[in-house]
Structure formats: C-alpha cells, structure tokens
C-alpha cells in the first residue's frame, strides 16, 4: 500500500474523537493546519472528513481539498472558494463577469464558503473567440478594493456552510495559466465529486470506528475510499474516469443505506437525517456527464 493511500485510510480506522464544535471559524482554523500537513489532496479530504463532527464540515474539507487538487501550486493552508455561478447559471455563455487588463467587474451569486475564503478564484470573460466566450480564472483577495463578499441564500441542509454572493468593481486579480473553463471550471465538477465524497465517506467510517459498527460494512467503505483515492489521481476529463466515478458513487449510496441501519448517537443521527440530501446535489449534472462519457467511449476507435 502506498504511503498516500495509507494516509487516506488510517484516520477512518481510528476511534479518535472528532474536533469539537467551535463554529465555522473554529473549524477553519483547524482545517488550515490539517491541509498544510497532508501529503496530498485526497489524504487531506479523508483526514478532514474523519475529524469532522458533522456532514457540513466534512463537505467543507472535501471542497478545500478539491481546490488544492485543481490548483496544485496554491498555498493550501489558505482557504479558498471557486466563483463561477452567476444569475444566468454556470455555463460559459452565462458568464458576464469581465476581466480587462487584470481588473474584474461583475457579480457571482453562489460562492461556497465565500465568507471564510482567503483566496477567491473568479471565472471571468476576456472576450470571444470563434463566437465563443474566452474565459480566464483569476485569484482575487477578498479584502482588496472593489471586492464585496455578502451573505447569500441559506440551504435547509448543511446550514453551517455559507454560500456568499460576490460583487467586483474593478478589483485586481492575478490570472492563472490556461483556459478558465476547460482547465478549471469544468474539471472541478469531477474533482469536487471525488474529494467531497471521499471526505463524506471518511466521516461515516470514522463514526463507525467510534461506534463499533460491523466490520464487513466498514471494509466495504475502505474499499470504496481506496477506489476514490485512485480516481483522484486520474484525468478528470477522461470519460473512463467519469464512468468509474459513477460506479463508485452508486456503490457509496448502497453502502450508506447499510450504514444508516447501524447504531448512531442521537445528535449525529438527527444531523445526518437533515443533511444527507447533500449526496444528491448535482445528481442531474452527474447523469448528463455519464451519458456523455458513454457516448464518447462508443465513438472511440
């Protein structure tokens, strides 16, 4: 077993207690240290999931690990947020935020963990090429002039996770190399699925270690976590990655049904019943991605 895989699996076998509930800011302070110490993004996702006392912070840990995987050279101890969605959605043609000589203007309507972020990764339009929008990804300091981060809509599940709005008025940004859509925004959907589901699975397995859940179910969970660790190293644009990920997520849903029949602490059970819907977020987008992957495979030589 590689040291990286061992680092991902080990926290789920320990009966170590989760971090205490210190609110989102308290979680963020601990998460920075865990991210800095982890050997790779997936191990960070598993570690943060295992130490979370609730689904919301497991999700947040997976999200931060995914951003590290998306931008490998970034300072991973700084919390970040990807800012894509606007009033018209998150499709390339819906992006109206503009970049002009490194200055950004526009609005983003749904920025996950925006209030905690120290780096904002903003997708912005730079013009058009062959009738299509040309997009770049810019890193923006949320405390800079021309940047306003405000509370956004709340959700009925994982309420501890904020979703902010972002307004930019000539804010200075530093452009990342590559195409903002094909190199960052589009692959992030897959990268996020892998790391967030890894964190959520680690969260459940760590709870099972503390509660003494049956070993066969925990072993299935370890096998799925190892599969997700392998997918974390795969090309997020490859159709085979999408197909294998679809199978892993389907197996995870089946395992979750088994784990839900195990004994839970009352408070943890109540939070899980409220928050389990997070597993179905973006289900339609995943379905479309899988159909497109099968189509591409059918056309491959």
Q: What is the pLDDT of residues 251-286, one digit of tens each?
A: 999 999 999 999 999 999 999 999 999 999 888 889
Range of the structural domain that residue 247 is part of: 3-71+184-299
Which pLDDT value is given to residue 300?
81
Q: Quick: pLDDT tens for 82-124.
A: 999 999 999 999 999 999 999 999 999 999 999 999 999 999 9
pLDDT of residue 249: 96
Query: Do residues 214 and 289 both lie within one domain?
Result: yes
Strand-strand pairing, 174-175 and 98-100:
unpaired
Q: Do residues 157 and 273 touch, judged by C-beta distance below 8 A?
A: no
How many angstroms separate the CA atoms of 101 and 295, rounded? 40
CA–CA gap between residue 141 and residue 118 (Å, rounded) = 7
Least confident of 5-19, 102-116, 216-230: 5-19
H/E run at residue 118: none
> Rounded to the nearest 10 degrees, how much is the dihedral formed by the CA atoms of 180, 193, 237, 164?
-10
Q: Of the candidates 175, 209, 226, which is a domain's last residue? A: 175
| pLDDT bracket for residue 129 (50, 70, 90) | confident
CATH of the domain at 104: 2.40.110.10
Choose between 200 and 5: higher pLDDT: 200
Query: Long-range contacts for 22-28 (Cβ within 8 Å, ≥24 apart)?
Result: 23/160, 24/115, 24/116, 24/160, 24/161, 24/162, 25/116, 27/52, 27/57, 27/60, 28/79, 28/116
For residue 223, the model assigns a pLDDT of: 97
What gap in Å lies between CA 30 and CA 17, rounded to an integer? Answer: 14
91 in helix, strand or coil?
Answer: coil
Residue predicted with more confidence, 199 or 1: 199
Work out the mean pLDDT of the chain and round it to a whole number. 95
- 232/264 same-domain check: yes
Residues 198 and 243 occupy one common structural domain: yes
Q: Strands 132-140 and 147-151, how do they pair? A: unpaired
Cross-strand pairs, 171: 104
The number of distinct structural domains making up the chain is 2
pLDDT of residue 2: 64
- How much is the pLDDT for 3? 66
What is the C-alpha to C-alpha distance for residues 136 and 26, in angstroms, rounded to an integer? Answer: 33
CA distance 75 to 154: 29
Asked if 198 and 154 sit in the same domain, the reply is no
Q: Are residues 29 and 171 in the same domain?
A: no
């Amino acid at each position: 077993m590689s040291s990286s895989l061992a680092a991902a699996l080990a926290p789920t076998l320990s009966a170590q207690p989760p971090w205490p509930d210190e609110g989102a800011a308290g979680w963020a302070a601990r998460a920075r240290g865990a991210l800095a110490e982890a050997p790779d993004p997936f191990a960070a996702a598993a570690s943060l999931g295992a130490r979370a006392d609730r689904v919301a912070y497991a999700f947040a840990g997976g999200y931060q690990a995914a951003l590290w995987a998306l931008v490998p050279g970034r300072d991973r101890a700084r919390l970040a947020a990807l800012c894509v969605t606007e009033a018209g959605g998150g499709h390339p043609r819906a992006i109206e935020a503009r970049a002009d000589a490194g200055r950004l203007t526009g609005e983003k309507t749904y920025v996950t963990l925006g209030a905690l972020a120290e780096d904002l990764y903003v997708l912005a339009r730079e013009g058009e090429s062959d009738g299509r929008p040309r997009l770049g990804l810019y890193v923006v300091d949320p405390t800079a002039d021309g940047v306003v981060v405000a509370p956004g809509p709340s959700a009925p599940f994982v309420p501890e996770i904020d979703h902010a709005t972002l307004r930019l008025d000539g804010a200075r940004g530093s452009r990342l190399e590559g195409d903002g859509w094909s190199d960052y925004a589009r692959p992030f959907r897959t990268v996020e699925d892998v790391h967030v589901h890894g964190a959520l699975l680690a969260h459940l397995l760590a709870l099972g270690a503390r509660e003494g859940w049956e070993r066969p179910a925990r072993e299935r969970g370890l096998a799925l976590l190892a599969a997700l660790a392998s997918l974390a190293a795969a090309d997020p644009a490859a159709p085979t990655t999408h197909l294998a990920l679809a199978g892993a997520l389907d197996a995870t849903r089946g395992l979750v049904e088994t784990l839900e029949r195990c004994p839970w602490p009352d408070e943890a059970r109540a939070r899980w019943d409220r928050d389990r819907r997070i597993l179905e977020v973006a289900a339609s987008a995943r379905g479309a991605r899988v159909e497109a992957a099968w189509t591409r495979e059918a056309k491959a030589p």
